[in-house]
Amino acid sequence: MPVVTVTSDWNKRDFYAGALEGGLLGIAPVCEITHQIHSFDVRMGVFVLRQAFTRYPAGSIHILAVQSQATDQLPMSVAYYQEHYFITVNDGRFSLLFDHEPQWIRAVFAAQGTFSELDAYIKAVKAIVEDKLGEMTLPADMKTEVRPSAVAEKDYIMGQVIYIDSYGNAITNVSRSLFDKVGAGRDFRIFLQGPYTRIEKISDSYGGVRPGQLLALFNSAGLLELAVFMGSLATLENIGLYDDIQIQFNKHG
């Protein structure tokens, strides 16, 4: 029996999450990834699901319910990627979620009603579990959206904050592999919000500096993360989502 995960911006205060999970429990076990995605923030939902789904067993079904009202032009769809099923609106977010084309995408027949995605999710999960997806879907092409990427030159990298976690740590789109390739072991400075806030060392853990001190490390996703030990970088340094960061490498090694 596959596991069904749910990532949404519905907030548990409302009935939506409970209604979906109740409708799914008779079909398959349900696991909440989070219902605390910021309202309508598709990129945040994509980031969270992208980091989490690989931890689940092959055959798992992942629902991304963030700004998920389907239309005829942007239908609710099922994608199959790396032995996992994904159910969400085909509006470009699949291309942000996956590193390459999924094995296939199928559009779910439109449901009617003000909360039509609820029924669409339940019907799609039921069809996957019963191996009847072909009866309620049609083949579809993946719509694409440009994923923000770090820009690298010989002596610097320009990156962007793509996620701020609940501790106020800023996760960027600068990967360890890009940092190592451009830096080639050279000394560096990481600049935040202009020339005055900077970091000159990569730490191995959060505890490698004094409380209140800035630090940079590569997290479990292999992305550069900026933080304040025992504090909130977002609050103390006024760092926000999609803010730019710059890494300047010493030209002389």
Least confident of 56-60, 123-127, 206-210: 206-210
| Domain enclosing residue 79, as ranges | 4-139
Distance of CA 10 to the CA centre of its chain: 16
Segment 118-139 mean pLDDT: 93
Identify the three-state secondary structure at position 206: helix
Angle at 60 between CA 32 and CA 31, to 5 degrees: 15
pTM for this entry: 0.90
Angle at 22 between CA 21 and CA 24, to 5 degrees: 65
DSSP bridge partners of 17: none
In a domain? residue 10:
yes
- CATH number for the domain including 218? 2.40.30.90
Q: Indicate if 190 and 66 belong to the same structural domain.
A: no
> What total of structural domains would you count in the chain?
2
Distance CA 94, CA 88 (A): 8
Among 113, 139, 165, residue at a domain's last position = 139
Does 146 have pLDDT greater than 90?
no
Among 105, 139, 173, residue at a domain's last position = 139
In a domain? residue 144:
no
Q: Indicate if 131 and 181 belong to the same structural domain.
A: no
Does 132 have pLDDT greater than 90?
yes
Q: Indicate if 100 and 159 belong to the same structural domain.
A: no
In sequence order, what are the residues at sequence separation of 6 or more whose Cβ sits closer than 8 angstroms to the Cβ of residue 60? 2, 3, 4, 5, 53, 84, 85
For the record, the structure tokens of 156 come out as 């610097």
Distance CA 117, CA 110 (A): 9
Does 73 have pLDDT greater than 90?
no
What φ, ψ does residue 101 adopt, rounded to 5°?
A: -60, 135
In a domain? residue 145:
no
Q: Indicate if 127 and 155 belong to the same structural domain.
A: no
Does 113 have pLDDT greater than 60?
no
